[in-house]
Amino acid sequence: MTSAPSDESGPGLADRFSRVRRATVDLTEPLSAEDFVVQSMPDASPAKWHLAHTTWFFETFVLTPHVPSYEVFDEAWGFLFNSYYESVGPRQPRPQRGMLTRPRIDEVREYREVVDEAVLSALASGALDDRKALEVLELGLNHEEQHQELLLTDIQHAFSLNPLRPAYRRGVASPEGAVRTATPWIEHAGGVVGIGHTGREFSFDNERPHHHVYLEPFAMSPYRVTCGEYAEFIADGGYRRPEFWLSDGWAAVREGNWQAPLYWERHGENWMRFSLCGMVPVKPSSPVCHVSYYEADAFARWAGARLPTEAEWEVLARAEPVRGEFAEEGSLVPSVERSPGFFGRAWTWTKSPYVEYPGFRAGPGALGEYNGKFMVNQLVLRGGSCFSPRRHLRTTYRNFFPPWARWQVSGIRLARDTRTG
Say which range, 54-58, 134-138, 334-338, 339-343, has the weakest mean pLDDT: 334-338
Question: Which residues, other chains included, contact 191 with Cβ-Cβ below 8 Å and sequence gap of 6+?
Answer: 214, 215
Task: Choose between 31 and 335: higher pLDDT.
Answer: 31
The backbone region for 136, taken as left when phi is positive above 0, alpha when psi lies in -120 to 50, beta otherwise, is alpha
Give pLDDT, residue 336.
78
Give pLDDT, residue 251.
98
Confidence check: pLDDT of 175 > 80: no
Domain locations along the chain = 10-160, 186-417
CA 325 to CA 345: how far, in whole Å? 5
Across residues 10-15, what is the average pLDDT? 86
Residue 5's pLDDT band, with cuts at 50, 70 and 90, is very low
Across residues 324-349, what is the average pLDDT? 85
What residues does 119 pair with on adjacent strands?
none
One fold for 10-160 and 186-417: no
CA 190 to CA 226: how far, in whole Å? 27
Residue 112's pLDDT band, with cuts at 50, 70 and 90, is very high
CA 107 to CA 176: how far, in whole Å? 44
Give the pLDDT confidence of 254-286 residue by residue, as tens digits: 999 999 999 999 999 999 999 999 999 999 999
CA 2 to CA 138: how far, in whole Å? 10
CA 318 to CA 323: how far, in whole Å? 12
CA 228 to CA 244: how far, in whole Å? 19
Domain 10-160, what fold? Four Helix Bundle (Hemerythrin (Met), subunit A) (1.20.120)
Residue 331's pLDDT band, with cuts at 50, 70 and 90, is confident
Superfamily of domain 186-417: paralog of FGE (formylglycine-generating enzyme) (3.90.1580.10)
What residues does 416 pair with on adjacent strands?
219
Give the pLDDT confidence of 119-145 residue by residue, as tens digits: 999 999 999 999 999 999 999 999 999
C-alpha torsion angle, residues 95, 98, 102, 108 (rounded to 10): 100
Say which range, 27-41, 52-66, 179-193, 328-342, has the weakest mean pLDDT: 328-342
Q: What is the mean pLDDT of the chain?
A: 94
This prediction has a pTM of 0.95
Across residues 325-336, what is the average pLDDT? 80
Give pLDDT, residue 3.
55
CA 75 to CA 114: how far, in whole Å? 14
Task: Choose between 316 and 421: higher pLDDT.
Answer: 316
Give pLDDT, residue 329.
75
Confidence check: pLDDT of 238 > 80: yes
